[in-house]
């Protein structure tokens, strides 16, 4: 696909994030299952529900543009999700794996923040305020999820990981 | 490598970002070469110089921890860089490729913002304020680069992409 116009780039980036979101729909239930802290599990379940709505919004955007809703392989998200899978397969202390899940999820959110940030800008430049509004709603949700994950880490999960390490060191003595 | 303690996770994430930064050292000169707008080229060259210093900081962090400075395959950054390479190989209008380069670079920056954000938190929890300070300096640079890229897009590169599209449509008429 040639990128001759900003609309070409807009469509290309829409298909990239559409594939990314669909990968997330598959990954989030596994992340929720792997999470030990109930608050983290709940955060993943909440974000799974949001992601379903975000995919619907993308369907609406494709429809408004008169384009087919299809994804294009998003290697960035593929790599991030693959790393998350490896983390979940690691042998490790549970509070540390929770902290690792938060880190993996924040990489996901930041990928999406970058992608939707550009999409909102392009939609505005292309004179599509309704589409920009839809994409902005998703952007705000991704930013809120990132902040919630930071707060979860600060509120106890990462500290639990430190405590787990200390217990282990004491046991080794 | 088992993730039993937060220090294990800290080291694992340090090796991930070390690999990511080293991939960027290879990618940024190519991005600078591909950029058409002089301001974008300059931004990539400036960030290449910063990245060199960021790798040195990571070397210092590994040294302070008494650990070898080595990377661990970072699939997230690999995927993002691979997408950037494909973009640069696309057949397309120059202003549109500049806009696409900005989008690719913002995905890079956001990956790093997520990674360094977690690393700063871990260093603080592990009682390593000097290390936290080094990592915080890099985090601030990544955030500033992301903002500078947004400003570059808003200040004219993306508009140039719109104008290129309009010219093309006129030519098609």
pLDDT for res B172: 46
Q: Is the pLDDT of residue B170 over 60?
A: no
> Per-residue pLDDT tens for B26-55?
999 999 999 999 999 999 999 999 999 999
Smallest CA-to-CA distance from B61 within B125, B132, B112 is with: B132
Contact B75 A96 (CB under 8 A): no
Contacts of A158 in chain B (CB under 8 A): 6, 121-122, 125
Residue A93 CA to residue A165 CA, distance in Å, equals 8
Contacts of A6 in chain B (CB under 8 A): 96, 99, 158, 161-162, 164-165
Residue A115 CA to residue A138 CA, distance in Å, equals 11
- Of the two residues B123 and A95, the one the predictor is more confident about is B123
* Nearest chain A CA: its distance from B73 CA (Å): 9
Contacts of A115 in chain B (CB under 8 A): 103, 107
- pLDDT band of residue B85 (cuts 50, 70, 90) is confident
Tokens found for residue B93: 């209008």
pLDDT for res A157: 74
Give pLDDT tens digits along chain A (173 positions): 678 899 999 999 999 999 999 999 999 999 999 999 999 999 999 999 999 999 999 999 999 999 999 999 899 999 999 988 888 887 766 888 999 999 999 999 999 999 999 999 999 999 999 999 999 999 999 999 999 999 998 877 777 777 776 655 554 44
DSSP state string for B106-132 = HHHHHHHHHHHHHHHHHHHHTT-HHHH
pLDDT for res A109: 97
Contact A158 B6 (CB under 8 A): yes
Q: Is the pLDDT of residue B101 over 90?
A: yes
Interface of A with B in 65-84 (CB under 8 A): 74-80, 82-83
Q: Is the pLDDT of residue B62 over 80?
A: yes
Cβ–Cβ contact B159 with A under 8 A = yes
- Of the two residues B66 and A155, the one the predictor is more confident about is B66
pLDDT for res A1: 63
pLDDT for res B168: 53
Residue B84 contacts by C-beta under 8 Å, 6 or more apart in sequence?
Answer: B27, B31, B101, B104, B105, B108
pLDDT for res B88: 83
Contacts of A93 in chain B (CB under 8 A): 3-5
Which residue among A5, A113, A114 sits closest to B165, beta carbon to beta carbon? A5
- pLDDT band of residue B167 (cuts 50, 70, 90) is low
ipTM of the complex: 0.90
Cβ–Cβ contact B92 with A under 8 A = yes
Question: In this prediction, what percent of chain B has a pLDDT beyond 70?
Answer: 92
pLDDT for res A167: 59
Q: Is the pLDDT of residue B143 over 50?
A: yes
Which residue among A5, A75, A153 sits closest to B82, beta carbon to beta carbon? A75
- pLDDT band of residue B105 (cuts 50, 70, 90) is very high
> Taking a C-beta distance cutoff of 8 angstroms, is the pair A7, B95 a contact?
no
Cβ–Cβ contact B158 with A under 8 A = yes
- Ranges of beta strands (E only) in chain A are none
Q: Is the pLDDT of residue B165 over 70?
A: no
- pLDDT band of residue B60 (cuts 50, 70, 90) is very high
pLDDT for res B173: 43
């Amino acid at each position: 696909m040639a990128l001759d116009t900003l609309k070409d780039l807009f469509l290309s980036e829409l298909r990239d994030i559409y594939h990314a979101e669909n990968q997330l729909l598959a990954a989030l239930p596994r992340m929720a299952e792997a999470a030990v802290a109930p608050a983290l599990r709940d955060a993943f379940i909440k974000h799974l529900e949001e992601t379903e709505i975000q995919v619907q919004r993308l369907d609406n955007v494709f429809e408004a543009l008169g384009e087919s809703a299809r994804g294009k392989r998003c290697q960035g998200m593929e790599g991030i999700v693959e790393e998350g899978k490896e983390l979940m397969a690691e042998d490790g202390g549970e509070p540390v794996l929770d902290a690792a899940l938060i880190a993996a999820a924040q990489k996901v959110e930041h990928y999406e923040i970058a992608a939707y940030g550009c999409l909102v800008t392009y939609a505005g430049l292309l004179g599509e305020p309704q589409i920009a509004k839809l994409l902005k709603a998703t952007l705000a949700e991704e930013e809120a999820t990132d902040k919630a994950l930071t707060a979860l880490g600060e509120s106890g999960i990462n500290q639990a990981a430190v405590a787990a390490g200390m217990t282990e060191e004491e046991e080794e003595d």
